[in-house]
Amino acid sequence: MFRFLTSGESHGPCLIATIEGLPANLPFDLAALDAQLARRQGGYGRGARMRIESDRAEVLSGIRHGKTLGSPITLRIENKDWANWQEKMSAAPIAEATEAVTRVRPGHADFTGAVKYAQSDIRNVIERSSSRETAARVAVGAICRQFLAQFGITLQSHVVAIGPITLDQTTRSLSADAWDDAFWERVEASPVRCGDPQLEAAMIAHIDEIRSSGDTAGGIFEVVALGVPIGLGSYSQWDRRLGSRLGMALLSIPASKGVEIGGGFAVAGLPGSRVHDVLRHEGSAYSHLTNNAGGLEGGITNGEPLVARVALKPIPTLARPLPSVDLATGENIAATRYERSDVCVVPAGGVVGEAMLAIVLAEAFIEKFGGDSLEEMRAHLAATQAMATVAQPPTD
């Protein structure tokens, strides 16, 4: 079935993504993939690294003349900053050792990674635990969203909170008509990927205030998938539920500390009569009056928009560093080192969230309507949709 791997270090020569399981004859648009990489690099509050890199993907295998072959796809994304790190990150032994990084940065993988992998130089942890790896995931997600688009599935994200600046939750709607084209156009034009102009201004002001104090800001983004068919996922086993798979994917995003689907935590305080989505039938179509379930019932998509929110903690690299420990000496130190960093990555986090949602949906779609070619999958989908009626009891 579908699977993917990424490899590469933050300051190594490149990132690599390998994808297996996509059908043959899928039209491939490299410019559209690069556009997704550019979206990941944007957003108000990004750091100096984004001015160095200008991510573009190179296809190494699996695509010919603009279409997938059904064989593994390999993508390469160059790290332009590698030019400044060739000796420090050399794969071959070097004559004179570089200075080891030994001061732990609170909130990073520095401490746990150094202990787990028995590393005396934290640089060996930093390079792979860095969020730079998400560029490869966005590349994978970009191909998955091209696959999903063949079946009318679209994905978007928007920022709903940065620090204490947040949307009014009392009027929240998760139905398909909650977001029109004009809303998504405003989101894409916004430096913080927020569709509300007043909130946008307040979010930018908060990021500026946080930056001036040497601190960082977290927040919440929402991902939305429209056009998702009924029947992806399963309740047959815990790990086949689409909600559990989506939760794992979104929690794998660096800095992610919470995921909610549909109404999420807010519905825990409401009576059931105000939470559960009433099903209606008109003609040959089923729909729900509300979408508090966020498009999932029993671990299976129900035809409504698939909606999830992700809470990102503030970036742990601070311009005004926190106290820490030097692993080489065991000494408690007044402040750890500072490396260039972002102030806020929530807008970019939403783009990564779209990629992870696309990956989860592509995998589930291939499981449900599997085939070796795009044409075969279309036929399987058409056959399933023709059968998509609720079973009726036998008549005498």
Tens-level pLDDT at each residue, the chain (396 residues): 899 999 999 999 999 999 999 999 999 999 999 999 999 999 998 876 556 678 999 999 999 999 999 999 999 999 999 999 999 999 999 998 899 999 999 999 999 999 999 999 999 999 999 999 999 999 999 999 999 999 999 999 999 999 999 987 655 678 888 899 999 999 999 999 999 999 999 999 999 999 999 999 999 999 999 999 999 999 999 999 999 999 999 999 999 999 999 999 999 999 999 999 999 999 888 999 999 999 999 999 999 999 999 999 999 888 888 999 999 999 999 988 777 679 999 999 999 999 999 999 999 999 999 999 999 999 999 988 887 665 555 655
DSSP string, 171-182: G---SGGGS-HH
Options 3.40.50.1820, 3.60.150.10, 3.40.50.150, 3.30.1490.100; CATH for 100-386 is 3.60.150.10
Cβ-Cβ contacts under 8 Å for 6 (sequence gap 6 or more) = 15, 16, 17, 18, 133, 136, 137, 140
pTM, two decimals, is: 0.94
Closest-CA residue to 145 (of 363, 301, 368): 363
Q: Residue 202 belongs to what H/E stretch? A: helix 197-212
Closest-CA residue to 199 (of 66, 44, 308): 44
